[in-house]
Chains A and B, each alone.
Chain A
Amino acid sequence: MSSTGTGIQPPPRVIEAARSPLMASAFAGRTKVLPILELALLIAASIAPLVLRDYITVYATRVLILCLFALSFDLVWGYAGILSLGQSLFFGMAGYGVALLSRDFGVGSIFAVLPAGTLIGFVAALLLAGFLLLGRHPSSVVFVSLGTMTGAYAADRLARGSHYLGGQNGIPSIQPMTIGSHELSEGPGFYYLVLAILVLIYLLSRFLLRSQFGLALAGLRENEQRIAFLGYKVQHLKAIIFAISGAIAGTAGSLYAFHEGFVWTNMLGVVMSTQVVLYVLFGGSGTLIGAVIGTAIVEGLSFWLSDNYRDIWPIILGVLLLLVILFRPLGLISLVLGERERVGHFGPSLKEKRNAAP
């Protein structure tokens, strides 16, 4: 090869070769399963309330909120490789936060409570990240997972003991959320609101993860030390994605509080945290749609099983989860999605390449 250094001024024949048909063909001609899957699910979710009975729509709303929560865990674990076992901390803190806003200040407007819940999740995650992730040396997975789990456990205990927070019983009978003068109670209206928020956050996450920021996260997940030696500010990256994920968990938590009409200590604790881990492992971490599918299937199965096998349904569900994790460690999504599409490409699209070529 000629002496081109790092290639700041490549000779013409190199550029010629870079534009060869080989390179173009590497982008084109791949069947894309992911967009089809996403669209199909969106259509199914949009028509669901029209065909489902009302009490199932209410249940489905709860599932959509949990999907949002699962998305937040997938961002940190599936994309950045941070094992947060205290994700419920941000979910629950936001839930309690908006419940207090409603109880003590009578604030119920969606334009106040959703931003407030999101902010609570964001700030709480940022503070925790400051303790667990920032520091001269990269913190180990075990340290971070135990640290976050301890946080969730401690919050659960504190809430149980606090008279102000309602102790064991939590905060009951929260007033409904309002949009202007309209009160939003459970049912199709609430369902479509949650669906719209889920789709919006899904698309924003998708944009972020497919950008070069997503490439940096992929590097972080695969080999944190390597990308630190390239010059990436690894701790900043981690803190930012952790805080974003906390914010999403906060949005989900505040929606959950208003949808259920009450908050209780389980929302903060380890049970909720491990549940979200199961959703994401079941569906397939490292794909956004995997988190959504995992949540929907686990919750749907529990609903159906508990109806039909009243006594032994948790055992059946447990065995199913084990089977998936044993035989499909990448989750159900790996049945339809190849490795390449799951990990993705971060190079320019064909359109961008055409623009880049002089």
Chain B
Amino acid sequence: MPLLEAAGISKVFGKLTALDGAALTVGEREFHGLIGPNGSGKSTLMKCLAGALVPTRGKVTFINTDVTSLTPSERARAGMSLKFQITAVLPTLTLYDNILLALQARSSLLELAFSRTRGRLHEEVMTMLLQFRLADRAFDAAATLSHGQQQWLEIAMALACRPRLLLLDEPTGGMSLEERRVTGELLQPVKQHCSIVIVEHDLDFIRDICDRLTVLDQGKVLASGTVAEIQANRSVQEIYLRRA
């Protein structure tokens, strides 16, 4: 049984059909890349998976449960976590507090009010910050980070919710080559306990990190398979050649 199964997803905005029966299947501990030309519906599909949008038609199943109409918060509690395309760290809070906030997302209101979890989580917060090479900035405001570092902080926050599935919308957008390489390294250990769906323009990055790929074109799935299969696929080559 796959971890996530989206079938027949359509999304219509007025006269624009952004998605037209797209499908996606992600197994346990699988890194799945979602690629395609601009406007092919990658981000829309991602939003339908995360709950930011409700699809016009179709069904999303996550860990054997139909989550199509659940709110983002409910999906997060079920084990789905999203990193936004535009970085959305909490700018005036410290890095430490950003992570702390993410770690306590499922605490009850009473636990929060009496801060029962605060002392206990200290080492976990520091471990995450160290892992993402941000520990020396722990008590600076998140707004003072560079763009690449903010992306890492966001990934760290998304992982702090201990998701089964992480949805990454353009994790390396605006990063330098070196930062991209490090991002790849940072994501590798996640595979032990979590699947990832990545939307990304950087095909080298996708090739290095992903197990399987799904190619979207004009709201439809053009091809889906292992990285090698997709690389050999003629119609995929065509749409990328057409762009070039």
CA distance A343 to B101 in the complex (A): 14
**In A327-348, which residues have CB < 8 Å from any B CB?**
339-340, 343, 345-348
**In B87-137, which residues have CB < 8 Å from any A CB?**
88-94, 96-97, 100-102, 104-107, 109, 111-115, 117-120, 122-128, 130-133, 135-136
**Taking the complex as formed, is A296 at the interface, i.e. its CB lies under 8 A from any CB of chain B?**
no
CA distance A5 to B187 in the complex (A): 9
**Taking the complex as formed, is B233 at the interface, i.e. its CB lies under 8 A from any CB of chain A?**
no
**Taking the complex as formed, is A281 at the interface, i.e. its CB lies under 8 A from any CB of chain B?**
no
CA distance A343 to B132 in the complex (A): 24
**Taking the complex as formed, is A173 at the interface, i.e. its CB lies under 8 A from any CB of chain B?**
no
**Taking the complex as formed, is B231 at the interface, i.e. its CB lies under 8 A from any CB of chain A?**
no
**Taking the complex as formed, is A225 at the interface, i.e. its CB lies under 8 A from any CB of chain B?**
yes
* Pair A213/B109 contact, Cβ less than 8 Å: yes
Which residue, B107, B130, B157, B188, has most C-beta atoms of chain A within 10 A?
B130
**Taking the complex as formed, is B162 at the interface, i.e. its CB lies under 8 A from any CB of chain A?**
yes
Min CB gap B34→A, angstroms: 18
* Pair B76/A229 contact, Cβ less than 8 Å: yes
* Pair B72/A348 contact, Cβ less than 8 Å: no
* Pair A215/B100 contact, Cβ less than 8 Å: yes
Query: Which B residues are in CB contact (< 8 Å) with A5?
Result: 189-190, 192-193
* Pair B106/A231 contact, Cβ less than 8 Å: yes
CA distance A297 to B134 in the complex (A): 43
Interface residues of chain A: helix, strand, loop or mixed (majority)? helix
Range of interface residues on chain A? 35 or more
**Taking the complex as formed, is B181 at the interface, i.e. its CB lies under 8 A from any CB of chain A?**
no
Query: Which B residues are in CB contact (< 8 Å) with A236?
Result: 109
Question: How many A-B contacts if CB must be within 8 Å?
Answer: 170
**Taking the complex as formed, is B77 at the interface, i.e. its CB lies under 8 A from any CB of chain A?**
yes
* Pair A212/B92 contact, Cβ less than 8 Å: no
* Pair A1/B186 contact, Cβ less than 8 Å: yes
**In A9-39, which residues have CB < 8 Å from any B CB?**
10, 14-15, 17-18, 22-23, 26-27
* Pair A6/B160 contact, Cβ less than 8 Å: yes
CA distance A222 to B98 in the complex (A): 11
From B93, B112, B136, A222 is in contact (CB under 8 Å) with B93
Min CB gap A311→B, angstroms: 43
What sequence of 0s and 1s flags, for each residue 223-238 of chain A, a beta carbon within 8 Å of any chain B beta carbon? 1011111111110110
- A343-B82 contact given A228-B71, A348-B118, CB 8 Å threshold: no
Min CB gap B223→A, angstroms: 30
**Taking the complex as formed, is B7 at the interface, i.e. its CB lies under 8 A from any CB of chain A?**
no
* Pair B130/A347 contact, Cβ less than 8 Å: no
- A213-B161 contact given A6-B128, A347-B125, CB 8 Å threshold: no
A-B contact pairs, 12 of them (CB 8 A): A3-B188, A4-B131, A6-B159, A8-B124, A10-B127, A211-B114, A212-B111, A212-B115, A215-B104, A232-B105, A346-B100, A347-B100
Seed contacts A231-B76, A232-B105; 16 additional CB < 8 Å A-B pairs: A3-B189, A5-B193, A6-B124, A6-B160, A6-B193, A10-B127, A15-B127, A23-B138, A212-B104, A223-B88, A226-B88, A240-B109, A345-B139, A347-B122, A352-B122, A356-B122
